[in-house]
Chain A
Amino acid sequence: MVDMINKPNKGPFVSLMTGLPGGGKTFLGILLVAAFFVPLSNTFLPESSPFYVPTYLVSLMGKYVCFALLALSVDLIWGFAGILSLGHGAFFALGGYAMGMYLMRQIGDRGVYGNPLLPDFMVFLNWTELPWYWFGFDIFPFAMLMVILVPGLLAFIFGWFAFRSRVTGVYLSIITQAMTYALLLAFFRNDMGFGGNNGLTDFKDLLGFDLQATGTRLGLFVASLIALALGYLVCCFITQSKLGRVLIAIRDAESRTRFSGYRVEYYKLFVFVVSAILAGIAGALYVPQVGIINPSEFSPANSIEVVIWVAVGGRGTLWGAVLGAFLVNWGKSYFTGSFPDAWLYFLGGLFVFTTLFLPKGIVGTAAVWIEKFKNKQQGSSPMQAPVPVKEEQ
Chain B
Amino acid sequence: MLGLSKVAGVITGAAMLATSALGLGTAQAADDVIKVGVLHSLSGTMAISETTLKDAVLMMVDDLNKNGGLLGKKVEAVVVDPASDWPLFAEKARELIEVDKVDVVFGCWTSVSRKSVLPVFEELNSMLFYPVQYEGEESSRNVFYTGAAPNQQAIPAVEYLMSEEGGSVERWVLAGTDYVYPRTTNKILEAFLKSKGVAEEDIMINYTPFGHSDWQTIVSDIKKFGSEGKKTAVVSTINGDANVPFYKELGNQGIDAADIPVVAFSVGEEELAGLDTAPLVGHLAAWNYFMSIETEENDAFIKQWKAFIGDDNRVTNDPMEATYIGFKMWTQAVEQAGTTDVDAVRQAMYGQEVKNLTGGTAVMNTNHHLSKPVLIGEIQDDGQIETVWRTDDVVVGDAWSDYIPESAKLIADWTYPYVCGGCEKPMY
Contacts and interface: CB of A to CB of B under 8 A. Distances in A.
The reply, when asked whether chain A contacts chain B directly with Cβ atoms under 8 A, is yes
Interface of A: 19, 22-27, 29-30, 34, 50, 53-57, 59-61, 63-64, 112-113, 115, 121, 123-126, 185, 188-190, 196-199, 201-203, 211-212, 290-292, 294, 296, 319, 323, 326-327, 330, 332-334, 336-337, 340-341, 343-344, 362-363, 366-367, 370, 373-374
A370 B3 contact: yes
Contact of A112 (B18, B80, B138, B184): B138
Nearest to A47: B27
Contacts of B16: 30, 34, 326
Interface string B88-103: 1011101100110000
Interface string B61-95: 00000000000000000011111011110111011
A294 B86 CA distance: 8
5 contacts: A112-B407, A113-B407, A190-B178, A198-B180, A203-B119
A325 B313 CA distance: 43
Interface in B120-138: 120, 123, 137-138
Contacts of B203: none
Contacts, number: 187
A370 B120 CA distance: 45
Which residue among A19, A30, A63, A373 has the maximum number of chain B CB atoms within 10 Å of its CB?
A: A30
A185 B81 contact: no
Interface residues of B, number: 63
A327 B12 CA distance: 9
A292 B4 contact: no
A53 B138 CA distance: 34
B94 A323 contact: no
A324 B22 CA distance: 17
Interface stretch (B110-118, B158-166, B340-348, B374-382): B110-118
Looking at chain B's contact residues, the main secondary structure is: helix
A290 B184 contact: no
A149 B8 CA distance: 33
B80 A323 contact: no
Contact of B15 (A123, A326, A370): A326
Contacts of B20: 53, 57
B217 interface: no
A291 B183 CA distance: 23
B422 interface: yes
Given A19-B1, A202-B119, A370-B4, A55 B183 contact: no
A191 B118 CA distance: 24
Given A56-B95, A57-B23, A340 B7 contact: no
Contacts of B115: 198, 201-202, 292
A336 B179 contact: no
Contacts of A341: 42, 81
B426 interface: no
Most buried by B among A30, A113, A340: A340
A60 B179 contact: no
Contact of B179 (A115, A198, A212): A198
B209 A188 contact: yes
Contacts of B83: 336
A340 B183 contact: no
A291 B119 contact: yes
Contact of A188 (B92, B119, B138, B178): B178
Interface in B305-336: none
Given A63-B91, A202-B119, A23 B7 contact: yes
Nearest to A121: B180
A344 B43 contact: yes
A292 B86 contact: yes
Contacts of A56: 23, 94-95, 98-99
Given A30-B12, A54-B98, A291-B119, A61 B19 contact: yes
Interface string B4-38: 11111101110110111011100100000000000
B210 interface: yes
